[in-house]
Amino acid sequence: MDFNGSSPYPEGVISFLDTDLYKLTMQCAVLQYFPKVPVTYAFKNRTPEKKLSRAAFKWLVIQINKLGNICLSNDELRFLQNTCTYLNKPYLDFLKEFRLNPREQIVPSFTPDKDTGSEEDTGEVNLEIKGLWVDTILYEIPLLALTSEAYFRFMDKDWTYDGQEDKAYEKGMRLLEAGCIVSEFGTRRRRDYHTQALVFRGLVKAKNEGEKTRLPGKISGTSNVHLAMRFGIPPIGTVAHEWFMGVAAITGDYENATTTALSYWVGCFGEGVLAIALTDTFGTPAFLRAFRQPIPELTTITPGAAASGAELKGRERKRAKTFAEVFSGVRQDSGDPAQFVKAMRDFYDKEGIKEKKTIVFSDSLNIDLCLEYKKISDEAGFLTSFGVGTFFTNDFIQQSTGKKSTPLNIVIKLSSADGNAAVKISDNIGKNTGDKAVVEKVKRELGYVEKDWEQGDESTRWGTEDDIPKK
């Protein structure tokens, strides 16, 4: 564990498992199907007014390079073997020997607004990531966490850890009392590791109190695998947009890309395993067209290749179940939640699926939104759960003013795979990413209808610094 000499708390990323579970599950699938595919990733700051100083950038580069020193410990391997049984032996054998190589795979750059040579010069930071998909897929979460930490270590220092554990406990209790099933999803935009540990300690305290007093809600886990191991709580996660983006870019067949990506996912993990599907990579309507298809028999493919959608369609089993039947539910991560719930209710009813399915909400949540979405989803006959991230792990006030100390809204997305541009076309225009020409081409191919949700301004998703935090 690496500590800053001036602080009793750890700095940076302290464990190989200090990441979100879905990065490991996707790496497992990439190893099985695309071990030789090269990719690139792009960094984007949706809050461009929040910049780093040269000193903050230098600290960030040091922390990035330290990632190359981290490897999977024997205790961590045993935890994965015993807890994440869906991770197959070939993958765990690979992971035992796996090392990141940031000096070769990451190009960090700093462009000062006005270059005086001072450590206090502020400017734009960019992180370019390139290498084989299987070798670079784990960078996203630690790079985002480190960038956020750099900002709040050097730029916005008007805050303290005081009250974070109690605040998380109070939030957890309110959610449990309301009957919410909640997981902590806050690694990517946390203030730092210590904050996330304090928050999760508070949530575990709420979990224990809720179980003792038989509250209707549940703290179901955390996306952070290291914290899950540390606190004896299940790690939670399935798949991210990256999987669909990568498969689509590799095959070049956007009409069938979602079917292909879902087929490979089931092929890697089995039917009904890691079975919460993310719907909005190319818009939910395109996803639902694939979701209603029978699950095809997977083609025997050469590693690094990909069967075409047409080939997969031609190998459907007799009376095969559909993806919608096999997957236990879906995750809503962009757009209007009320419209999404209605669309999913209409979809399942039209498909004649009577089994009660789950909707997981994960888009910039707070307590009021969880309660609102739970009511809508429950009334529509769904099981409902929530992945709450930034509201837990980056909820602070400025000590000098009492106003909100707002998080950065930063993302890292796959930008190319196998030499082809990778794009994301979500249910909210503010979350679209990738080459604009390819985005427009895919929209035309899929018959995509642009959506602009009135609450979807990505630059102010967690408020502004003029806000007075609610008590």
Residue 276 lies in a domain: no
Residues 31-81: pLDDT tens digits?
999 999 999 999 999 999 999 999 999 999 999 999 999 999 999 999 999
What does the pLDDT look like over 402-442, one tens digit per residue? 999 999 999 999 999 999 999 999 887 777 888 999 999 99
Return the number of other C-beta atoms located less than 10 Å from residue 76's C-beta.
18
Q: How far apart are CA 360 and CA 381, in angstroms?
A: 14
CA distance 21 to 62: 25
Please tell me the predicted confidence (pLDDT) of residue 94: 98
Mention every residue, 6+ apart, whose C-beta is less than 8 A from residue 255: 309, 445, 446
Comparing C-alpha atoms, which of 38, 33, 134 is closest to residue 422? 38
Q: Are 199 and 168 in contact (CB under 8 A)?
A: yes
Residue 48 in any domain: the answer is yes
Token pair of 169 as six digits: 């406990």
Residues of 278-288 as b/e, b for ≥16 C-beta within 10 angstroms?
bbbbbbbbbbb
> Exposed, middle or buried by CB within 10 Å (0-12, 13-18, 19+), for 265?
buried
- Separation between Cα atoms, residue 46 and residue 65, nearest integer Å: 25
In a domain, 433, yes or no: no
At 420, give phi and psi (nearest 5°).
Answer: -110, 145
What's the pLDDT band for 3 if we cut at 50, 70, 90?
very low
Give residue 173's identity as a one-letter amino acid code. M
In angstroms, what is the C-alpha Rg of the chain? 22
Residue 253 lies in a domain: no
Would you say residue 112 lies in a domain? Answer: yes
CA distances from residue 41 to 128, 257, 278, 303, 467 in whole angstroms, order as listed: 6, 20, 20, 22, 34
pLDDT tens-digit profile of 107-163? 999 999 999 999 999 999 999 999 999 999 999 999 999 999 999 999 999 999 999
| Domain span holding position 105 | 1-158+412-422
pLDDT in tens, 260-319: 999 999 999 999 999 999 999 999 999 999 999 999 876 444 444 455 454 555 454 455
Evaluate whether residue 14 is within a structural domain. yes
pTM value is 0.92
Is the CB of residue 201 less than 8 Å from the CB of residue 238? no
- Split into its structural domains, the chain has a count of 1
By CB atoms closer than 10 A (0-12, 13-18, 19+), residue 230 is: middle
Q: What CATH code is carried by the domain that includes residue 16? A: 3.20.140.10
φ/ψ (deg, to 5) at 61: -65, -40
Mean pLDDT for the stretch of residues 3-23: 80
- In sequence order, the 6+-apart residues with CB closer than 8 A to the CB of 400 are 158
Q: Which residues of 151-185 are buried (b: 16+ CB within 10 A; e: fewer)?
A: bbbbbbeebeeeebbebbbebbbbbbebebbbbbb
In a domain, 99, yes or no: yes
In this structure, what DSSP letter does residue 400 have?
A: T
In-domain check, residue 151: yes
